Amino acid sequence: MLGSYPIDGKFGKYGGKYIPETLAPAIEELESAYEKYKNDPDFQNELSYYLTEYAGRPTPLYFAKNLTRHLGGAKIYLKREDLLHGGAHKINNTLGQALLAKKMGKKRIIAETGAGQHGVGTAIACAVLGLSAEIFMGAKDFERQKLNVFRMELLGARVYPVKSGSKTLKDAINEAIRDWIANVKTTYYLIGSAVGPHPYPMMVRDFQSVIGREIKQQIWEIEGTMPNALVACVGGGSNAIGSFYTFLDNKDVVLYGVEAGGKGINSGKHSASLAAGSEGILHGMFTCILQDECGQVVETHSISAGLDYPGVGPEHAMLKELKRARYAASTDQEAIEGFLALSRFEGIIPALEPSHAISYAMKLAEEMKKDDIIVVTLSGRGDKDVEIVQDYLNKNNTKKKTKNAK
Amino acid sequence: MQNRIAEKFRELAEKGESALICYVVAGYPDTGTSKQVINALVNGGADIIEVGIPFSDPIADGPTIQAASNAALRKGMTPEKALHLVSNVRKQHPSLPLFAMTYSNILVRAGIEKFMSESKQSGLDGFILPDMPIEEADIYSLTASKLDLATVFLVSPNTPEARLRKIVASTTGFIYVVSVYGITGARNSFQKYTLDTIRAVKQVSGAKVPVAVGFGISTPAHVKSIIAAGAEAVIIGSAVINKMSDESGKKMLEDLRNFARSMKKACKNE
Ligand SMILES: Cc1ncc(COP(=O)(O)O)c(C=O)c1O
């Protein structure tokens, strides 16, 4: 049973808890609290209440008929996580963990954020549950994403720019871990993806697996069958594992995780840890990471901040090794094409992260039969990205013009 | 060789002294100066040297060591060059216990057995890996024991006694007591819980392995209070690096020697 992992904190050989000793008791406390509340009906009812009444679950499974007709291949369905409060799947996890923290009696929540999506998700959950939120954000991202910083502050969070290392997401995680070590008794670390030391990858997966459970039920109601393929983007891997988990033992459902190919895998400027990484230890887990031959973690690139991470959740590393899931990469350019297509054909502006999945699903649909079914997890909405896309298009149009002028 | 470590602690115990362990970042301020830095510390009285092999994501380190590690990486320091530095130091100091302090990924990337056996050949005596808890340490510990390299595990003020016993059982070099809730970095004072932790650890470790205390120690007064609580060694890291940041050349080396001397005096309770 693939669904029974992790076993002893490991997904096959991946996962584990490579953490400083000070965190060992805190991780143990977290493990036993999670074990207790996972099966506690009161906890589950309360979480379910917030997910339904506050966040907007269940989300629709929408048949993208215009896009499907245009491509002329398999039917494409969209799992509309973009319609959730906050605009992304992130809130499934932040509500779950914040509620757990509250039950554990921890009033101070810390979190990392890249561009600000998880920071905003954390700030929202803490505001509604009456917890205090402090967010670590790489100094570079802090500068680039001023509006998201303000958004978090509006929601009552404090945001700290992290000036160490490459000043981006991975350093924000490092700094959150350091803060946790210093304030271990009072503080709950609310990690933003299915990454980090055990039990985080399992816990985040469990909180996100509501996505896949709903897909299974909805597609059954609409089509009376299982989908042929699921497609989801992979940064740390939380929306993807949340979509896949319920289907792991349905071997006929092909699972595709789509990473950020950036400027192309061969350019070295990408964030495709599974497609182009190697085994290593980062942020407390043994997984696939992007590193040099000496074991130093390298800088990554993606047009979408949410995929710009040099590691990936250990469960994906296992699923890749077992060939249960397939992992591909879409480039920046391909993601932009997916973004434009969904905006024009369906009137849905997707976030750049799931645009990678859309682009891949479009290619897949063309190769599949007309009555095949693909479900794409639309993990977030694209309002946050319109400026980036505008810049990208302006730059590319300029290039085209100069080419034409010659 | 674990003998060098045991021999050193035996020799110091006879003299009624505690051990002064100094941490340096390989390649900081630059590769050439690293060896002179180690020599200055040893001349000043350092009994054991920890060579930090810089890693891009040092989650247990504060700003001082982060900055030094980054600077070393920018100047091209690699694990291989760090081992080369170790072998140079070894030639000059045949009986000096030498540890590598680094993060697990440095070993995992090269292959644990391969890297540890190269370390052994370069003259290293043992390892300190702050992100390698006992649960994950099977292969590491087995390899260390095959190669006669010492393992150092860390203990924190919040480590429960049952766990402490397991850690002591897994340790072959010395127990590294993390003095505070926090990461590395010089501190102004210690609280009572630090001294309580040292006493509690010493109760369990007994005669099996020596107890060293690190994180935040920066003055002779700190050293004295920690030794009075029962520690057999003090580890000075960030405070050593702070002595290097705004001085260079001869003056810096002189400062380092004097600093080590003042800390060693405190280790002798002078
Ligand atoms: C909309 C959206 N999708 C996907 C991701 C990637 O994260 P994960 O791989 O954990 O789902 C992010 C991260 O910020 C995001 O904001």
pLDDT tens by residue, A300-328: 999 999 999 999 999 999 999 999 999 99
> What pLDDT sits at residue A404?
45
Looking at the partner chain, which of A164, A184, A295 has a beta carbon nearest the beta carbon of B106? A295
- Tell me the pLDDT tens digit for each residue of A193-229: 999 999 999 999 999 999 999 999 999 999 999 999 9
Percentage of residues of chain A with pLDDT beyond 90: 94
Smallest CA separation from ligand 1 atom 15, residue: A306
> What pLDDT sits at residue A6?
98
The answer to whether B81 and B31 are in contact (CB under 8 A) is: yes
> What pLDDT sits at residue A246?
98
At residue A187, does pLDDT exceed 90?
A: yes
Which residue ranges make up each domain of chain B?
A: 2-265
> What pLDDT sits at residue B27?
97
The pLDDT of A10-31, averaged and rounded, is 97
* Pairwise pLDDT comparison (B234 vs A165), residue with the higher score: B234
Percentage of residues of chain A with pLDDT beyond 70: 98
Looking at the partner chain, which of B70, B106, B156 has a beta carbon nearest the beta carbon of A22? B156
How far apart CA A115 and CA A214 sit, in angstroms, is 28
Q: Is the ipTM of this complex over 0.85?
A: yes
Ligand 1: residues within 6 Å at CB?
A 88, 114, 117-118, 193, 233-240, 306-307, 351, 353-354, 379-380
Three-state SS letters, chain A: CHHHCCECCEECCEECCCCCHHHHHHHHHHHHHHHHHHCCHHHHHHHHHHHHHHHCCCCCEEECHHHHHHHCCCEEEEEEHHHCCCCECHHHHHHHHHHHHHHCCCCEEEEEECCCHHHHHHHHHHHHHCCEEEEEEEHHHHHHCHHHHHHHHHCCCEEEEECCCCCCHHHHHHHHHHHHHHCCCCEEECCCCCCCCCCHHHHHHHHHCHHHHHHHHHHHHHHCCCCCEEEEECCCCHHHHHHHHHHCCCCCCEEEEEEEEECCHHHCCCCCHHHHCEEEEECCEEEEECECCCCCECCCCCCCHHHCCCCCCHHHHHHHHCCCEEEEEEEHHHHHHHHHHHHHHHCCCECHHHHHHHHHHHHHHHHCCCCCEEEEEECEECHHHHHHHHHHHHHHHHHHHHHHHC
> What pLDDT sits at residue A399?
53
| Distance (Å) of CA A100 to CA A31, A42, A185, A207, B19 | 11, 12, 15, 11, 45
Structure tokens at B136: 């994950």
> What pLDDT sits at residue B190?
87
| Mutate-to-test residue for ligand 1 from A238, A330, A359, highest number of ligand atoms within 8 A of CB | A238
| Contacts A17 to B, Cβ<8 Å | 133, 135-136
Catalytic residue, chosen from A79, A90, A320, A384, is A90
What is the dihedral sign for C-alpha A269, A273, A279, A284? positive
Looking at the partner chain, which of A21, A278, A283 has a beta carbon nearest the beta carbon of B159? A21
Mean pLDDT check: name the lowest of A263-272, A393-402, B229-238: A393-402
The answer to whether A183 and A2 are in contact (CB under 8 A) is: no
b/e burial code for range A256-266 (CB count within 10 A of at least 16 → b): bbbbbbbeeee
The pTM is what? Answer: 0.97
**Domain spanning B2-265, CATH class:** alpha beta
Q: How far apart are the first and last CA of chain B?
A: 31
At residue A80, does pLDDT exceed 90?
A: yes
> What pLDDT sits at residue A166?
87
Please list the pLDDT of chain B residue by residue as tens digits (270 residues).
568 999 999 999 999 999 999 999 999 999 889 999 999 999 999 999 999 999 999 999 999 999 999 999 999 999 999 999 999 999 999 999 999 999 999 999 999 999 999 999 999 999 999 999 999 999 999 999 999 999 999 999 999 999 999 999 999 999 999 999 999 998 888 889 999 999 999 999 999 999 999 999 999 999 999 999 999 999 999 999 999 865 567 899 999 999 999 999 999 988
Hey, is the C-beta of A290 within 8 angstroms of any chain B C-beta?
Answer: no
At residue A149, does pLDDT exceed 90?
A: yes
Catalytic residue, chosen from B47, B50, B125, B232, is B50
Mean pLDDT, chain A, integer:
96
